[in-house]
Amino acid sequence: MTARLTLRTLASILCLALPSTALADEVRLNDGRVLVGKVKLDGARCRITTRDGVVEVLAQEVVRVRTEAELRDELARLAARAGDGPHGCIELARLAQGFGLADEMWRWLDRALAQPLSAALRTRLDELLAALEPELLGELKPGNLQGRVRFVLLAARNGGARRAAAAQVLARFPQDEARDLLRRTARHNPLESDRATALAALAQRRDDDDQRTVWRAAVLDPSAQVRETAIGLARSHSNSHEVIGFLAPALVHDSVDVRIKAADALAALGDKAAIGPLAAAGPAAARAAAAQPGATRGYIAFLQQQSYIRDFDVEVAQAAFIADPKVDVLQSGTVLDVTVAAVITERVVTSFRRALSRLAGADPGADPAAWSSWAAGLRP
């Protein structure tokens, strides 16, 4: 009788406390397991629909049930004690993940990412973000690696913590196929957000070719925002001297735009070791500007035309000989075809000068020929 009463009482509690629409209820079982998901009572059995599937247990195995509302209240109570510091935000996000409160988890992660983090906290946060593939995919269950990559990138378009989590998740995909997919995405995907997420994932992987993909994007990506993201990743995840060595040849690239973007990227990198390559490349980059495709060209012709009789054709008509003159035109004069390089040269000099000023904290002057001497005179 006691067992039946206990079972009936527990069933009544479950019917009242566990509506079928619950999404983040917590069920603790007598074997120590904690399940989070949608709960439904079916007679003497309890069905919990978790993210990984349906778990069915006897109602009498349930020790404790907390509804979604109770879990939210518990999280709010802990948040009041923990404060808004980065450590507290990370721990609250971890608790929200355990409670199945995805919206709250993303909010606390956004707060954590908005604050300066020590190396230890950054590592803890990255570990948490890397475990959030289920939260990014939600109810989606892609059957292959390409589908996983595509859907993770799709979730990252919401920005914020979701993008940071996507980068960490993608960086830990071990297959070579994932690496190739990320590189193709970083180079050819038409969406800026997808390219930026792929670059962030590649920067985490620490492979030399992956790093070079990031550095290349810092100059060649068509989007200024993605280039800024790429140089920020290079600054935080790469050896700056290696980055400078990779970007320095672009300072004398055939394209003026590439030279200017390379100078901007080196300035954003913030390493004073880039002053030497910039100063040395300045004169050559400025001189070669005149030969650039797309340079402004001027064309003018001063011509004089004079007609003259070149020859005669003899025709016979009604027993008469007629001389038919053949007239030609003599053309003389001057043709000028000029490339106006002053504007392009000024663009190159200005961009290099701006980069040098930003790195050195001093103006190198307007004459590129004097920049090397100026750089040599800077204090180490």
Rounded Cα distance between 29 and 40, Å, is: 15
pLDDT surpasses 60 at 245: yes
pLDDT surpasses 80 at 129: yes
Provide the pLDDT for residue 219.
96
Phi, psi of 186 (to 5 degrees): -65, -30
Residue 28, H or E segment: strand 25-29
Provide the pLDDT for residue 24.
64
Provide the pLDDT for residue 299.
64
Segment 361-378 shows an average pLDDT of 90
Rounded Cα distance between 159 and 150, Å, is: 15
pLDDT band, very low/low/confident/very high, at 21 (cuts 50, 70, 90):
very low
Percent pLDDT > 90 in the chain is: 45
pLDDT surpasses 90 at 247: yes
pLDDT band, very low/low/confident/very high, at 7 (cuts 50, 70, 90):
very low
What confidence tens digit (pLDDT) does each residue in 73-128 have? Answer: 888 998 988 878 999 999 999 989 888 888 899 999 999 999 999 999 999 999 99
Provide the pLDDT for residue 357.
94
Provide the pLDDT for residue 274.
94
55 class by beta-carbon count within 10 Å (0-12 exposed, 13-18 middle, 19+ buried): middle
Residue 66, H or E segment: strand 62-66
Segment 198-219 shows an average pLDDT of 93
Provide the pLDDT for residue 302.
77
Q: How many helices (H) and strands (E) does the chain have?
A: 17, 7
What confidence tens digit (pLDDT) does each residue in 188-203 have? Answer: 999 999 999 999 999 9
- Domain spans, the chain: 2-66, 132-238
Q: Which CATH class name applies to 2-66?
A: mainly beta
Among candidates 122, 184, 123, 175, which has minimal Cα distance to 153?
Answer: 184
